[in-house]
Structure 1
Amino acid sequence: MPSGKKLVHFLSSAGLCAAGVVVLGYGMSADWANAVLECAPTGSDNFAGNSSLETGLFNGTETKLQCPRIDSPGAKVAVFNRLAKNAGAPVILHALVVILLALALLGSAGSILVTLYNSFSNPYQTYMGPIGLYTCSGLSVCVAFLALILYVSNIYAGEMFQTLVKAVEPNVKLRNPKITLQVGFFLLIPYICFNLLAILVVFLYVHAAYTRRKEQEKPTEDAPKEIMMY
């Protein structure tokens, strides 16, 4: 029967991983960024119109005001469909972000299974021991952080919002994008923190158990050789 202290540590770690899954799952369904771009017809420098987009990972909305000379309030945006029309870096980077977040969820699921298994068993020296948690949660942290960087790179350097507009209105000039990151993007930060805390909780237990075991071995190591012979 596992000790109460072990149960608390491993079940707390599982709870933190589960909380991370909930946070990331909600974040993937929420809006990630919005942008307002000034626009004008090709061949004109009259940037009197604007296009406003609010997007998540999969869908969003777009409102065009005279861009160019077109009003389309609340038009739906299928992010992948639009990006795929122009192909190139924006759709590749966006697909990588989604794939990385799916891997993060998979890693979190692995962490939950490992911690629950360790709560009632003792596979310390195998991949199903704490090292399994370190691997799964560490993977989740790394890929989530990479997804965060790639998404920011895509909307700024990759001009993802410009690509979304031009996918349905190629004869338009765009300038001065004003981009604001939304809740879905920022939820990656608590997700990463939850996984780091899950690792820390188990590490503290393993370190304390190792220290206690070493202290119990000291009397035997320090005993006189004459006594050890009998």
Structure 2
Amino acid sequence: MPSTEKLLHFLSSSFLCVGGVILLGYGMSTDWAEAEMECAPMDSNEFKGSSSLKIGLFNGTESKISCPRISKYNEKVPVFDRLVKLSGAPIILHALVVILLGLALLGSAGSILVALYNSFSNPYQTYMGPIGLYTCSGLSVCVASLALILYVSNAYLGEMFQTLVKADTTQVKLQNVNIKLHVGFFLLIPYIFLNVGAILVVYLYVHAAYTRRKEQEKPTEDAPKEIMMY
């Protein structure tokens, strides 16, 4: 039977990973960002229209006012369909973000399984031991951090929102793009910290167990002379 200390550490690690999966799963289903920008026809420099978008990873909505000559409210925005129309960096980066988040979820699922398995068994020297948990949670942390960076780069430098507008209305000029990030994006941050916490909880237990074992394996010359006489 595993010790209470071991059980608590590995179960705590699995609960942290479960919390991370819940956060990331919710984050991937909700809004990630919104943007407002001014519009003008290609043959004019009068930016009298506007477009406002609010998007998640897969879908969103757009409201246009004379952008360039039509007005639409709460029009559905299939993110991938629009980005594919103009191809280029925005669709590549956005697809990478989704793929990386999928890998993060896969890594978290692996961490949960490994932590639960270690709670009731002792596969220390195999890939199903703490090394497996470090690998899975470490993968989740790395790919989620990369996804965070790529999304910001795509939104602010890759002109993703401008591409979404131009894919639906090609003959338009845009300026003064104001972007705000939403809860879906920010949930990546606690997700990353929860996975780091899952690693730390197990590492503290492994380190304490290793220290105790080394103390028990001290050579006899370190023992008191009174004990060595017998």
Q: Provide the C-alpha distance between the structure 2 equivalents of 1:29 and 1:149, rounded to a whole number of angstroms.
A: 19
Whole-angstrom CA distance in 1 between matches of 2:185 and 2:220:
55
Letter in 2 for 1:202: V
Which residue identity lines up with residue 61 of structure 1 in the other structure? T
Match of 2:35 in 1: 35
Match of 2:179 in 1: 179
* TM-score for the superposition, normalised by structure 1: 0.96
Per the alignment, residue 125 of structure 1 pairs with 125
SS at match of 2:218: helix
Deviation at 1:221, TM superposition (A): 5.6
Q: Give the AA of the match of 2:147.
A: A
1:115, 1:86 → 2: CA distance? 44
Tell me how far apart the structure 2 counterparts of residues 43 and 59 of structure 1 sit (CA, whole Å). Answer: 31
- Relative to structure 1, is the Cα distance of residues 221 and 187 closer, same or farther in structure 2, using a 3 angstrom cutoff? farther
User: Which residue of 1 is the match for residue 159 of structure 2?
Assistant: 159
SS in 2 for 1:125: coil
Alignment pair present for 1:216 and 2:213: no
- Aligned to 2:19, what secondary structure does the other structure show? helix
RMSD: 1.6
Q: CA deviation at 1:103?
A: 0.1
Residue equivalent to 2:88: 88
Task: Tell me what 2:17 maps to.
Answer: 17
Give the count of matched residue pairs. Answer: 228
Other structure's SS at 1:19 match: helix
Equivalent residue letter for 1:162:
Q
Identity of aligned residues (%): 76
3-state SS, counterpart of residue 31 of structure 1: coil
In the TM superposition, residue 219 of structure 1 has moved relative to its aligned partner by 5.4
Tell me what 2:70 maps to: 70
Structure 1 residue 220 displacement after superposition:
3.6
> Aligned pair 1:146/2:146, yes or no?
yes
After superposing on structure 2, the runs of 4+ consecutive aligned residues of structure 1 that deviate more than 2 Å are: 219-224
* d(CA) in 2 for partners of 1:91, 1:84: 6
Question: Any unmatched runs of 5+ in structure 1?
Answer: none
CA distance in 2, matches of 1:58, 1:192: 22
CA shift, 1:218, in A, is 1.8
Q: Provide TM-score, normalisation by structure 2.
A: 0.96
Partner of 1:191 in structure 2? 191
* Separation in structure 2 between the aligned mates of residue 208 and residue 181 of structure 1, nearest angstrom: 42
Secondary structure in 1 aligned to 2:37? strand
Structure-1 separation of matches of 2:18 and 2:220: 43
